[in-house]
Amino acid sequence: EPEVTQTPSHQVTQMGQEVILRCVPISNHLYFYWYRQILGQKVEFLVSFYNNEISEKSEIFDDQFSVERPDGSNFTLKIRSTKLEDSAMYFCASSRTGGSNEKLFFGSGTQLSVL
C-alpha cells in the first residue's frame, strides 16, 4: 500500500535555527497537510495546501512557518527561527482529491526537538 514518507525521522536543533521538514505525499494525491502533536497531547492542524497554495492555516501557523512544494513530489515545512515550544512530532498528510469521500493518510512523522 502506498505511504506518505517523511524525513528525517528525528531532528534536533538549537533555538533560533531554521529547520526544514520534508514529506513525499502519495503520488496521485493532490491535497497536502501538516499537523503537529506535542508529546502526550492531541494532533493539531497547521496548514493545508492545494494547487500550489495554502488553502487554510491555523493560528499556530504564524509567520515563522512556511510550506512549499518545490517539485512534483516533495512537500516541505520550514520553521524559520525555531522556539522551544516548536518541539513536537510533525505529521505530513495527504489525500487524493477533495470532497467528502476522501481519506487522509498520515506519514510516520518527524520528531523535532528544539534545545
Partner 1 sequence: GENVEQHPSTLSVQEGDSAVIKCTYSDSASNYFPWYKQELGKRPQLIIDIRSNVGEKKDQRIAVTLNKTAKHFSLHITETQPEDSAVYFCAASKAYRGTDKLIFGTGTRLQVFP
Number of residues that bind partner 1 (CB under 8 A): 26
Our finding on whether 65 is near partner 1 (CB under 8 A) is no
Residue 92 corresponds to which amino acid? C
Q: Please list every residue from 82 through 101 that binds partner 1, using CB under 8 A.
A: 91, 95, 98-100
Which CB atom, from 14 or from 97, has the smaller least distance to partner 1?
Answer: 97
Strand pairing report for 31-37 and 19-24: unpaired
The verdict on 17 binding partner 1 (CB under 8 A) reads: no
Cell of 92: 505530513
DSSP class per residue in 28-80: T--EEEEEEE-TTS-EEEEEEEETTEEEEE-TT--TTEEEE--SSS-EEEEES
Nearest-approach distance from CB 32 to partner 1, in angstroms: 10
Interaction site with partner 1 (CB under 8 A):
31, 33, 35, 41-45, 48, 50, 55-56, 58, 91, 95, 98-100, 102-109
